[in-house]
Amino acid sequence: MSRAPRRPASLARPRGQVGCPACAEVEEILRRLDPALRVEGADLMARYRRALRKVSARAPAERWQDRLIVRKIRPGASVLDLGCGAGDLLAELMCRRRVRAQGIELDPEEVVRCVERGVPVLQGDLDHGLQGFPDRSFDYVVLEETLQTLHRPLTVLSEMLRVGREGIVSFPNFAWWKVRLSLMIEGRMPETERLPYRWYDTPNIHLFTLRDFLDWAERERVRILGGYAYESGRVRPLREDDNLDAEEALLFLRR
Amino acid sequence: MSSPRKYDPPDSPTSVGWTRPQVVRLADARRPFRLECGRTLAPIDVEYETYGRLSPRGDNAVLILHALSGDAHVAGWDATAEAAGRPWRLRKPGWWNGMVGPGKAIDTRRWWVVCSNVLGSCYGTTGPASIDPATGRPYGCRFPPVTVGDWVRLQARLMDHLGIRRLHAVIGGSIGGQQAMEWALRYPRRLDNCIVLASGARLSVQGLAFNMVGRHAILNDPLYAGGDYYQNGRGPDVGLAVARMLAHITYLSEPGMHRKFGRRRNAGAGGEGGFGPEYEVESYLAHQGRSFVERFDANSYLYISRAMDAYDAARWGRGDLVVACHRIRARTMIVSFSSDWLYPPRQSRELALALCRAGREVTYVDLPSDVGHDAFLVETEKVGRLVQAFLESGGPGR
């Protein structure tokens, strides 16, 4: 076997260090862009430089969606949580909204934690679909931070809108400006507080953007009843043009 | 081989200690018991054991249902083993000793635990070896066919006798799991929680096939004598041992057997013209067959295996399992074991999904294990964690 050629020293930069060579790469990208896009690109660049000056010591907001979902769900409703983890959301809904709760989770350890807190959970793989669940058998079907980990995301989405009267879905937006820049400037797969994985150990196998998702909804005639964006530690109602600003999105859907 | 399993002795703080089976007459000529087959049976005695203390409000009763070869002796050491002619109980505590006791998963400091031997068995409850009052001789195969439904109705009669109107939980594995299901279906308002281990709504066709071969071995043993072997000195021991050995293989799994025995040979193998037990697995199975014959009645095996064949939870929905599940009010937990090929995970899943489709809250867990169907008896750590959690969690906000 022949030996692999050595990488030039200039390409073997340690990650995280953004020096002049990276900036030069970005300048080159900006030069290649259409004049129309160049403005957006330059704006991004400026924001990235500003962001780099701040040291971000903010702890990631775990499951920021939960309290919004709890607020949204009416008492006594039925809720199916796909990928329910240890049952945090369902336990809260059972306590505060007296819902009929049902979780589905693949990880055996998480399943046991659900049992320990009295959350009904079916151990199963969402990628095998929701066959066996009748149409509209739940008021709400929740898919929190799970869509991007599925092998067959569209099947699961349409199944959730078949089984539930309303779907509640949240996901990381891969078009968030920081994600875009980390790919653009560093030329590496992004790592953020909310996506803290390397390319080889990430569970996120189908990455997409808010715009991608809205395209799908339009194509499938799925109505967006409302939504929220998570941005820099704050939560606010989703705007029309949030593809750049939303780090994560939470959407309420109906077929 | 692993080191011999350690049992906690009767004086251990985690043991229920010395136990004494109790027998109660639940049916007699004045109050006969009508079976699902249409025939009535009397008298009926039922042997049962209880552990722990019933709370003043009577709300801590847990009913355990045993499997094919099980009995009412769930935990602890039988103080009457010698006198009752059950020497095998001198060597071992009850069949779920690892699960039931003070501080164990089914904690007898908290729960009042009860288990009774099923109708047709041979451990103190009336069965084919009992005396038929009409003839003064053992019933043999004139004993009426029994069903899981009959067992559960008789258990309900026992609960009435003990003054238990509502059970905190029913728990069973294998055909005991089917009894637990039957409880939830037949008496939806008499239990709060139902735990079904290594079981399904019905036995698979492969299971039917194995049971048939087992019965075939018994029925064709020349000493079976049409079921009237009780006065002959010897019964169909060879047939019963074959049935047990075959069944025992279905309780294990290929990887589990590989780990336990491999292809290791016995020391000094050979004999019997080269067909003696050559490999460790052979002597193990032969031992299982022999020790089973010592403690079980062939007719009981026939009757119980038939009840196992016949059970179908969907009967409560005229063949539709989802319709049947609409009857259930109890919180239900269904547990399967990944290497179980007698009641494979697929069947447990089907049952869980049917409950879900019927709009019932259900918990289904497929535990990874390589010991096969026996996992519900052997994997006490994994099973215990789940059972304890489920028994003690009424659910948030309840």
Q: What is the pLDDT of residues A152-205, one digit of tens each?
A: 999 999 999 999 999 999 999 999 988 888 888 888 888 887 788 888 998 889
pLDDT exceeds cutoff 50 at A5? no
CATH classification at residue A215: 3.40.50.150
Q: Span A22-51, mean pLDDT?
A: 65
How many domains is chain B built from? Answer: 1
Question: What is the spatial distance between Cα B70 and Cα B99, in angstroms, rounded to a whole number?
Answer: 15
Q: State the residue range of the domain holding A167.
A: 65-172+202-254
3 state SS of A225: strand
pLDDT (0 to 100) of residue A47: 64
Report yes or no: A117 and A87 within 8 Å, Cβ to Cβ.
yes
Position A7 pLDDT exceeds 80: no
Whether residue B357 lies within 8 A of chain A, CB to CB, comes out as yes
Number of domains in chain A: 1
* More confident: A95 or B45: B45
Give me the interface pTM, i.e. the ipTM.
0.86
**Cβ-contact B384, B105 below 8 angstroms:** yes
Q: Residue A124: how many CB atoms within 10 A of its CB?
A: 20
CA distance B284 to B262: 12
B338 contacts in chain A (CB < 8 Å)? none
Q: A127 pLDDT exceeds 50? A: yes
Report if residue B213 sits inside a domain.
yes
Q: Which of B334, B338, B363 to mutate to test the interface with A (most CBs of A within 10 A)?
A: B363
Contact at CB, A95 and B396, closer than 8 angstroms: yes
Q: Which residues of A touch B (CB under 8 A)?
A: 78, 91-92, 94-96, 98, 100-102, 108, 111-112, 114-124, 132-134, 137
Nearest CA in chain A to B383: A112
Give yes or no for B397 touching A (CB within 8 A): yes
Is residue A209 assigned to a domain?
yes
Is the per-residue pLDDT at A245 higher than 70? yes
The reply to whether B178 falls in a domain is no
Q: What is the pLDDT of residue B277?
A: 86
* pLDDT (mean) for B223-241: 96
| Average pLDDT of chain B to the nearest whole number | 95
Position B76 in a domain: no
Give the separation between CA B114 and CA B72, rounded to whole angstroms.
8
In this complex, do B397 and A94 lie within 8 Å of one another by their Cβ atoms? yes
Inter-chain CB proximity A120 and B363 less than 8 Å: yes
Q: What percent of chain A has pLDDT over 90?
A: 53
Domain hosting B251: range is 204-310
Given this model, what pLDDT does residue A48 score? Answer: 58
Q: CB distance from B381 to chain A under 8 Å?
A: no
- Counted across chains A and B, CB pairs separated by less than 8 A come out at 73
CATH of the domain at B297: 1.10.1740.110
Residues of B with catalytic function: 174, 340, 373
At residue B270 the predicted structure's pLDDT band, cuts being 50, 70 and 90, is low
Instruction: Give the nearest chain B residue to A87 (CA atoms).
Output: B396
The long-range contacts involving B32-37, CB below 8 angstroms and separated by at least 24 positions, are: B33/B150, B33/B153, B33/B154, B33/B157, B35/B144, B35/B145, B35/B146, B35/B147, B35/B150, B36/B147, B36/B149, B36/B150, B37/B144, B37/B145, B37/B147
Task: Specify the pLDDT at position A56.
Answer: 36
Residues of B in contact with A129 (CB under 8 A): none
- Alpha carbons A155 and A128: distance in angstroms, whole number: 9
Residue B124 domain flag: no
Separation of alpha carbons B331 and B376, rounded Å:
20
pLDDT value for B2:
39
Chain B residues touching A132 at Cβ < 8 A: 353-354, 356-357
User: Is B238 a residue whose pLDDT tops 60?
Assistant: yes
pLDDT for res A83: 93
Please check the confidence at residue B340 and state whether its pLDDT lies above 60.
yes
